[in-house]
Structures are given as C-alpha cells and as structure tokens.
Copies of this chain bind each other. A is one copy, B any other.
Amino acid sequence: MSLPPEFALIARHFRPLAGPGALDLLDDAALLDPPPGRQLVLAADAMVEGVHFLPADPPETVGRKLLRVNLSDLAAMGAEPLGYLMTTSLPRGVADSWIAGFVAGLAEDQRIFGLSLLGGDTTATPGPACLSLTILGTVPPGQALRRAGARPGDAVWVSGTLGDGALGLRVLRGELPGDAEGHLARRYRLPEPRLALSRALRGLARAALDVSDGLVQDLGHLCRAAGCGAEIEAAAVPLSPPARALVEEDPARLLLALTGGDDYELLFAAPAGAEAEVARRAAAAGTPVMRIGRFVAGPPEVTVRGRDGAPLTLAREGWSHF
C-alpha cells in the first residue's frame, strides 16, 4: 500500500522542514513543550498569488517572503521565533519544481532565523495559490512591544528605508524603470524582518509595529492606540539610493514611500531625549534607524509636512484589501 500522492508530496518536500515537536508531520498535530518562563507570541498572515506576490516571482522568494512577513509580526512585538505552521492551497497542476523551490527558500530562512516547521496542511485549489502561515515566538513576560503606549512628545522612529517594496512591485510590473535583479525588486520579494532591532528596543520603545500597509496608515494605528496625533517630515523619511533617484525624477513617487506598504520596517515611539540611546541600541543591532517626527496631543491624525512646513494632502493613506 503506497502513499497517496498528497502524502508522498508532504513526505518528499515538507518533512525535511519539520523540527522538534512536529512528529515528522506524521501525526494529526504537533506537540510542543512551551519554553518555561516565557510568554507565547502568535501571529498569522496569508499571501495570495497575484495579490501579495507575483506569479513570476521565484518560488524561493515566495516561501521566504511568507515566512518573513510573519517574522516581521514577531519583530513588531519584540519576540524571538520559535516555530510555525503553514497551509498551502496550490493549483492542482503546480510543478514539482515550484514546490521544491518554495521549500528551499523556507529551509534557507529557517536556518537564518532559527525556527522550524511544526505542522500544517496541503490542499488543492481551483484558484491562485493561497498560502497561510501561523508563527509562534516567545518573549520574556511583560516585555512585548505593543501598539499602544506612545505619548505626545515622543519621537517617531523608523528602521531601514521606506518605499522600496512598493517601488519594487512597480518595477516588476514594468511600470517603473529597473530590473527584477535590482535592489527595489529584491526588497519587494524579500523583506527584512527587524528582529534584532526589536529585541534591542525592549524596555525603551513605548510602542511599535511593523509597516506593512503604508507608513501613514500604520502610524495612524499607533496614534489611535495612543489617543494622540503625529507629525512627520516627508523629507526625513529614509529612502534607499534607487528609491531616491526615482523620487527625484518624479516627486509624486514619494507618496509610495509614505503610503505604499510592503516595507516591513519597524515603526516605533521612543521618549524625547532618548535619541542617543536609540541610536546606540540600533547600531548594536546593526540596523539603521531614523527619527522622522513626533507624536502630538490631539485627535489620532497623521500630518505629513513638506519641505516648506505645509501639510501634504495624500490621496490615500495606505493599503486596504476591502
């Protein structure tokens, strides 16, 4: 009695990803002894072909992006990765080589970030590939970074550079100059979860999240959670050299850095006066950070000021699926 094709596929491709507790993916569920003295941190994000990744994206980066957008949720909480479960709904005719590439990408990032597959499910779909991942992490009790907690006067900080992902998507779609091997396309396909930085900010950052739907919209989440507003300087928003070149060519593209999403950078509040300490911890974590504005008393609104100090009017604040 040989294995049905579905289980042969799981054994061939997914079992090598399985870690302790996964029971070789042979049981109905995984068994995990929770690490003593830690809180669990749990998040789940889905990616749909044609919505969150492009059909032509290499399967390796699709797997890595799926894991990384979830790792970025752990980063937003200051947590450390523990393991993950994954469900993949794939078109019935999916090439074996696509699955092999997808799994190879996951395997590489498992090594880099130190976690492994605990379990999941593989199904067919008549539609586009639909991938869902649930990530588990841990944090010392009471030390998770939260969205609520910013206070008027706190500085608004962001890691890395913004807009690369949104610009990279347009490069890959042929709407902007550039190629699929360039920095921007790579940033769209392979975000960098800011795990080291977020751990370093425990006890210092008053609030944090990861920018996934656009800087202005996500900063609005911090404002609503805090019951205050925020003002940022458009000119202070950090751009990569290729992004800066595109924005200098057409300043309207700056809006993509402010509202485009797919950044997976850490956005956080830190007390005024803590600039040197933030810089010191970020440098120790090897992650560039930039102060881009401040939280202000008032309604939960985000004001973006241009070079002349006047507020910019934004056509949209960020991404919404509905």
Q: Which residues of A contact B (CB under 8 A)?
A: 1, 3-7, 9, 21, 23, 26-34, 39-48, 50-52, 73-74, 76-77, 79, 85-89, 92, 118-128, 130, 132, 134-137, 139, 141, 144, 146-148, 209-210, 213, 217, 220-221, 223-225, 299-302, 317-322
Contact = CB atoms under 8 A, between A and B. Distances in A.
A27 B226 CA distance: 12
Contacts of A127: 48, 125-128, 130
Nearest to A85: B44
Nearest to A124: B321
A85 B225 CA distance: 22
A130 B119 contact: no
Given A26-B147, A29-B42, A45-B87, 15 more contacts: A1-B302, A4-B213, A5-B320, A5-B322, A7-B320, A27-B76, A28-B77, A30-B40, A30-B43, A31-B39, A44-B85, A48-B89, A48-B124, A126-B128, A127-B130
Closest 3 CB pairs of A and B: A127-B127, A132-B132, A34-B34
A181 B136 CA distance: 40
